[in-house]
Amino acid sequence: MSDSSSNPGYAGGSAPVADPAAQPTADPGAHPTAGTAAQPTAGTEADPTAYEIVRVDESNWRTYRDVRLACLIDSAPWFGTLYPQAARMTDDDWRARASSEHLAFWLAMVGDLPIGTAGLFVDEELDGGMLVGMWVVQRERGSGVAQALVEEVEAEAGRRGCRRFVLHVHAQNTRAQAFYRRLGFVAIGETEGPDGERNELVMEARES
């Protein structure tokens, strides 16, 4: 499974480390229409003491849905999933994604404003966890939000007994690769992307 092509802003094997440049509203009930996404609100970078990382659940799955759709518009080249595919998902599909046994997602929030997201895919064959769907709003890239999301996902992988923690990143996304290396990830190989038309670098977290 992969939706990666990390974009510190986007990471993950079926998920990207990405920063949403479009800023969805907090848990709106209306489903965004194709090609549209709420635009970011002007503001300063997030104060590390002001944002919090929250788990996606029944109470905030709409916010996660809108962030996910926004990141697929903002950082489309780095994701394995295309916006039209995600836009066709029903509310039940999004709820199932948020409550899946093998998937878990988080949002970085400043008050009611989402500024990033990341997820964990638990791969039993890998005997490990994979960072997926990583995305941080553009103005917060480099602010520490992306690192906080990665650390939260890795901590959950550890709590679930995962012996490995990996991600896939687009072979041409050198910015994301450098970001992960700073966090202690090392390249261990390459794999074909989910669309079959690109190569992705496989990176694994190593204990310091």
Residue ranges of domains in the chain, CATH in brackets = 17-38+49-205 (3.40.630.30)
Q: How confident is the model at residue 146 (pLDDT cuts 50, 70, 90)?
A: very high
- Percent of the chain exceeding pLDDT 70 equals 71
E-state strands within the chain = 17-19, 52-55, 103-110, 113-123, 128-136, 164-170, 185-192, 199-205
In degrees, to the nearest 5, what angle opens at C-alpha 152 toward C-alphas 1 and 191? 25
Please report which confidence band the pLDDT of residue 31 belongs to, taking 50, 70 and 90 as the band edges. Answer: very low
Q: Is residue 77 pLDDT above 90, yes or no?
A: no
Arithmetic mean of pLDDT, 21-50? 38
> Which of the two residues, 39 and 69, has the higher pLDDT score?
69
Which pLDDT belongs to residue 71?
Answer: 85
pTM of the model: 0.74
Check residue 87 and give its pLDDT.
86
- Residue with more model confidence, 183 or 24: 183
Residue 81: what pLDDT?
73
